[in-house]
Amino acid sequence: MSVATSEPRTESARTPRGAALLLRLLGSNWRSGRLTVLLPNGETHRLQGPEAGPSAVLQIKDYRFARRVLANGDIGFAEGYMAGEWDSADLATLLETLVDNYDHIRRLFDGNPLMIAVNWVSHRLRRNSRRGSRKNIHAHYDLGNAFYATWLDPSMTYSSARFTSGATDLQAAQTEKYASLARLMDLRPGQTVLEIGCGWGGFAEFAAREVGAHVTGVTISQEQHDFARQRLFEAGLADRADIRLMDYRDVQGRFDRVASIEMFEAVGREYWPTYFDKVRSVLEPDGRAGLQIITIQETLFEEYNLRTDFIQKYVFPGGMLPSEERLAPVLDKSGLRQTNIERFGLDYAETLKQWENRFMGAWPEIRRMGGFDERFHRLWRFYLAYCQAGFRTRRTDVVQLVLSPS
């Protein structure tokens, strides 16, 4: 049984009905860890669960926050943070604590059925057709190379690192991620490799320089395309790397290997067969594909599929995470078989923690660029902390897997 206590000041103002309801819903079935809620009127409410877990503080600054949550659930919770209506000294730990208790307090974070429907329809309208994909990718990746350069590591890598050797240096861990994927797919000198979603060219440079492969990278982000081409030219690797502004569906030819690092999440569920059919069609008969994909627990997939979350609404429009179990039949129908898989979700939590620290440190410089206001600042901080919580609690994971023609 959860224990809820309150410590009001003697002359505190009356707690509004919406905030009181929010507190009751939180405290009615709190199970894990400790949550301290600070109200604008000076009251302190503490929730202590019977199970061990992290300790976090939620400071409510504006009672309008409660109305947002009651109306729009977890998305309203994020919107309240973006509006400055609540705060926490350790945002990632707060979100981890809430995620640990989600199954017991989900009534609070479900929100109004009408808002659930509105958000779901809005997300489904952001289909990843050729035109839709360009629009969705532009919304996130074309914020500007200068923006990402302020807080990514010097390799300009925007995907999970691998801290396999125990090292904490982010750039070294990103290089290890590239190396591990190359090893898993047995990438060799002289082979041709197609990279679907080449980002700013980090893996292309690694594969061309360190392995000696010939890389064709495709992206539909103009900013990434221009940066990657210049990067490989300046590295003296233009003869081994061809970066194209192209949708993966339009790629022709055959390749010894196919690589794709955290691009699959942007494909969209209805296009999963199209994606794997393309991978199969461009692979040589004895070829291999090495993919890095963020996954969600199978037990959460159906609910996730029927709702829209904060990430889909504000960060990655059109995005959709698969579970490992949902991938299996799609692979089989495409004529592909999985031959190896490695999971390293806690490495992603560490990657995100370092990104958050770097983003916060770079914020004064980002703000001076123009076009990035305080709401944007809080949205991105929430996004980085939100993802940390998912990987810490293992509701999400990240895998590197190898596919071969069956």
**CA distances for 29 relative to 48, 96, 103, 267, angstroms:** 10, 17, 10, 38
| Domains of the chain as residue ranges with CATH | 3-111 (no CATH), 130-405 (3.40.50.150)
Q: Assess whether pLDDT exceeds 50 at residue 54.
A: yes
Confidence (pLDDT) at 120: 52
Please report the DSSP string for 231-295 in residue order: HHHHTT-TTTEEEEE--GGG--S-EEEEEEES-GGGT-GGGHHHHHHHHHHHEEEEEEEEEEEEE
Residue 200 corresponds to which amino acid? W
For strands 214-219 and 241-245, give the pairing: parallel
Q: Assess whether pLDDT exceeds 80 at residue 64.
A: yes
Catalytic residues: 387
Confidence (pLDDT) at 9: 46
Q: How many residues appear in the chain?
A: 406
pLDDT digits (tens, 9 = 90+) for 14-32: 788 888 888 888 887 899 9
* Helix segments in 214-297, DSSP class H: 222-234, 272-282
pLDDT digits (tens, 9 = 90+) for 73-123: 889 999 999 999 999 999 999 999 999 998 888 777 775 555 555 555 565
Q: Which H/E stretch holds residue 338?
A: strand 336-343
pLDDT digits (tens, 9 = 90+) for 307-335: 888 898 888 888 899 999 999 999 999 99
Spatial separation of the C-alpha atoms in residues 305 and 302, rounded to whole Å:
5
- Cα angle 236, 238, 241 (rounded to 5 degrees) comes to 125
Distance, C-alpha 107 to centroid of its chain: 24
Provide mean pLDDT across the span 199-222.
Answer: 97
Q: Assess whether pLDDT exceeds 70 at residue 126.
A: no
Spatial separation of the C-alpha atoms in residues 359 and 150, rounded to whole Å:
7
Q: Which residues pair with 213 in a beta bridge?
A: none
Q: Which residues pair with 59 in a beta bridge?
A: 38, 87
CB atoms within 10 A of CB 117: 12
